[in-house]
Amino acid sequence: MLLDYADCASQYTNAYQINQAIQEKRLYRIERGIYSTTPHVSELAIIQKKYPKAIFTMDSAFYYHGLTTDIPDLYHIATPAKSARLRDKRIRQVFVNDSIFPLGQVEQVHEGTPIRIYNKERMLIELLRYKDKLPYDYYKEILRHYRAIIDQLDIEQVQEYAAIFPKSDILWKRLDEEVF
């Protein structure tokens, strides 16, 4: 089980008790501010615990949803536009406008770790929004997977997202031409 310093302080009462637990191997310091009751923890779980308000997006979300076989080099996470810049070399941070940040957020379990991630419908909109910034082959692979699961998607939700996001006319055009 992962704990942050506040969790440890409430469980072990003070820094001395925390250090005693670490020395006795009842607690393990994973990285600054993150502790675990087991010696080995997945990096995904660490990222989610360290940044609890962040939501996995783009390359990470496409991979976790099974829409691509490309394993991302970095964890792609979305944060509200006014958030502080994260100084973690494992992360690519995407700043998202506060009005659209929570749209499509779901909790999903990936390899035993519960994570906050955007749903497939929201990720379809993101794919179409960033079409010009993604490598062509990567874009086509993900689009091919979306076409295969189109019956499983909530089309009304996709349409709602397309109407809410900036440049909705471009999104509607891409949805009509490439997806539906």
Look at residue 8 in the predicted model and tell me its pLDDT: 87
Look at residue 79 in the predicted model and tell me its pLDDT: 96
Global pTM value: 0.88
Look at residue 179 in the predicted model and tell me its pLDDT: 78
CA 163 from centroid of its chain's CA atoms: 23
Look at residue 178 in the predicted model and tell me its pLDDT: 83
Q: Note down pLDDT in tens along the chain; length 180 residues.
A: 888 888 888 888 888 989 899 999 999 999 988 999 898 899 999 999 999 999 999 999 999 999 999 999 999 999 999 999 999 999 999 999 999 999 999 999 998 889 999 999 999 999 999 999 999 999 999 999 999 999 999 999 999 999 999 888 888 888 888 877
Token reading at 90: 């494992």
Look at residue 72 in the predicted model and tell me its pLDDT: 95
Strands 34-36 and 28-31: antiparallel
Look at residue 169 in the predicted model and tell me its pLDDT: 87
Look at residue 170 in the predicted model and tell me its pLDDT: 87
User: What distance, in Å, lies between the first and last C-alpha atoms of the chain?
Assistant: 43
| Run of H or E residues at 117 | strand 113-118
The CB density around residue 163, as the number of other CB atoms within 10 Å, is: 10
The CB density around residue 175, as the number of other CB atoms within 10 Å, is: 18
